Structure 1
Amino acid sequence: MSLSVIILISLALAIILGGVLLLKKSARKFDLTTEQLESIKKRNKTLDEKEQEDK
Structure 2
Amino acid sequence: MPMIGWIFILVAVALVLGSLFMLRDSASKMYIPEDKLEKIRKRKAELEAQEKADDD
Unaligned runs of 5+ in 1: none
**Over aligned residues, Cα RMSD in angstroms?**
1.7
- Tell me by how many angstroms 1:29 deviates: 4.0
* 1:38 maps to amino acid: E
Give the paired residue count. Answer: 55
CA distance in 1, matches of 2:54, 2:16: 46
Query: In the superposition, relative to structure 1, how do residues 46 and 23 fare at CA in structure 2: closer, same or farther (>3 Å)?
Result: same
Unaligned runs of 5+ in 2: none
* Residue 27 of structure 2 corresponds to residue 27 of structure 1: yes
Moved over 4 A (4+): none
Normalising by structure 1, we get a TM-score of: 0.73
Query: How much identity, in percent, do the aligned residues show?
Result: 35
